[in-house]
Structure 1
């Protein structure tokens, strides 16, 4: 059943909150912003922090988290504007967001950790790695057009490629997306989840409802669009930080056989000292949903290899 109409603009506290066995919901207040996290796994294991992208929430990692939990302490966080986190006004440039969410991780009692991020989560994670390398063991970035880094300078006009990135320009237009999309959030979210996955039936109706309701609830659409509207500032701050030094922690660039960025590692190597790349077969843009076991294996190998190299 399509429940977006009944949840649109519902207060955030009334948004349904799904559970995963063995995991606990946590909330952290940082600088007046309340962020939502889901934690489980081995309390004394190496910590892995997960960030999702547009138009998803922490729930994007639901089939990855149990596999990681066998070896690691796992924390999935809703970025500002996502899921059950606040939708603050102000800047959504990735350096500002990274500092905010990093403070939340510290509040959760995690002194050092591995950072794993997809889509706009990877935008935030790249800036995080530039500014807070001392807190990171390493970072894995999944299929993301990071502003100023892996994002092409221009939207391609070739129809075979344009559909993958056209929304960047649309989301940057003031007011118009809200005018066209308010009340139609489910249609919009459904397009992304069906068009950008390799197989259009990857997401069932209930999953689409879940993500659409989160976008529609309590100013979520405005907040998520703000990441794109502040992308130029994110790119500027990325290059300003890179002027002081490259990314020094180990980086895993994860591409998909049918994703948006053909070679994440090649795109990241000019900016990072220790970059390794893999391509996940049988996947479109939403790699954690499409190939969760492959992601668990890739992340476990990356972490173990980096630990051995120390």
Structure 2
């Protein structure tokens, strides 16, 4: 089946969002697993027995953001893309969207999938979760790659710039925090909102076609999706507090790769996180805006593979 193929939802009992079309990626299988009391959707495939690479996407996307990268990584790695709580076909709880709570749920899902050690790759809000997960579960990680994201309490600024040349990148942080107003303005217009984000923050306005925009907008519009999308921002202060609390016990020692892009939001991811990370390196992906895996999938896969190969060469020979 092709990457664009769509199949009916195969388990209404498992799938917590049965009304949302479920899309297949050749060589990968849909899974739903218990994750600390909620069901998370995972898409699993690649090389059995290879090192495990876990992928987390950000706003306003789903696991589908990695669809172009997964086949490349799957040639050598066991690949699992996870929809975060409230994303895609994962359950949409009313609360618990601070990144430490979400990190616990992601880790619980990976435990349920029998993944003891893994490489974690995350973009945007997914990178918020990944940073907190590394603070809580560093012993489960072989390495972390963070793509174009400011981390709450770490590198995310406390205020939104008012300079129009910069404000367009971060204005939504304050908007999402306002009680009720975003829901009032966005309900029924989710596609317009998603369309703006994908087109404005990509280097090329043609990086996403109408079908892809429809797909992401449908996930946000599905029951509970908009609430969950906003909740990550509304719980960001708690995420920041818990990040600071965890860093009080020590900085990260796991290898971290910061992936920036030529036209993204964070000019140098590695430099931005280096005060809190003992082993940080960086790479710049050219000809890309904020949505690096969509815009430059081959370069993304190459950068991740090089990072994993380099770090594995300096680690004990183990599987997973």
User: TM-score interval w.r.t. the shorter chain?
Assistant: over 0.9
2:281 is the alignment partner of 1:283: no
- Deviation of residue 31 (structure 1)? 2.9
1:5 maps to what in 2?
A: none
- Decide which of 283, 290, 303 is 1:298's aligned counterpart: 303
CA contact (8 A) 1:56 1:211 kept: yes
- Deviation of residue 150 (structure 1)? 1.8
2:96 is the alignment partner of 1:69: no
Task: Measure the CA separation in 1 of the matches of 2:267 and 2:301.
Answer: 20
- Decide which of 199, 208, 214 is 1:209's aligned counterpart: 214
Matched residue SS, 2:114: coil
- Deviation of residue 12 (structure 1)? 1.7
What is the correspondence of 1:113-262 to structure 2 with a 5 Å cutoff?
A: 113-262=118-267
CA contact (8 A) 1:150 1:264 kept: no
- Structure 2, gaps ≥5 residues long: 1-15, 316-320
2:105 is the alignment partner of 1:100: yes
Structure 1-normalised TM-score?
A: 0.96
- Decide which of 13, 33, 54 is 2:38's aligned counterpart: 33
1:44 maps to what in 2?
A: 49
1:6 maps to what in 2?
A: none
Runs of 4+ in 1 over 6 A off after TM superposition: none
CA contact (8 A) 2:31 2:43 kept: yes
1:87 maps to what in 2?
A: 92
Matched residue SS, 2:18: helix
Task: Measure the CA separation in 2 of the matches of 1:286 and 1:155.
Answer: 21
Task: Measure the CA separation in 1 of the matches of 2:28 and 2:82.
Answer: 12
CA contact (8 A) 2:34 2:108 kept: no
CA RMSD across the alignment: 0.8
- Decide which of 22, 29, 37 is 2:27's aligned counterpart: 22
1:269 maps to what in 2?
A: 274
How many aligned positions are there?
A: 300
CA contact (8 A) 2:36 2:104 kept: no
- Deviation of residue 235 (structure 1)? 0.5
Task: Measure the CA separation in 2 of the matches of 1:179 and 1:64.
Answer: 36
CA contact (8 A) 1:280 1:294 kept: yes
Matched residue SS, 1:13: coil
- Structure 1, gaps ≥5 residues long: 1-10
Matched residue SS, 1:127: helix
Matched residue SS, 1:164: helix
- Deviation of residue 93 (structure 1)? 0.4
Task: Measure the CA separation in 1 of the matches of 2:150 and 2:190.
Answer: 23
CA deviations 1:141-190 (Å, max 9, x no partner) are 00001111121222111111110000001001111100000000000000
2:10 maps to what in 1?
A: none
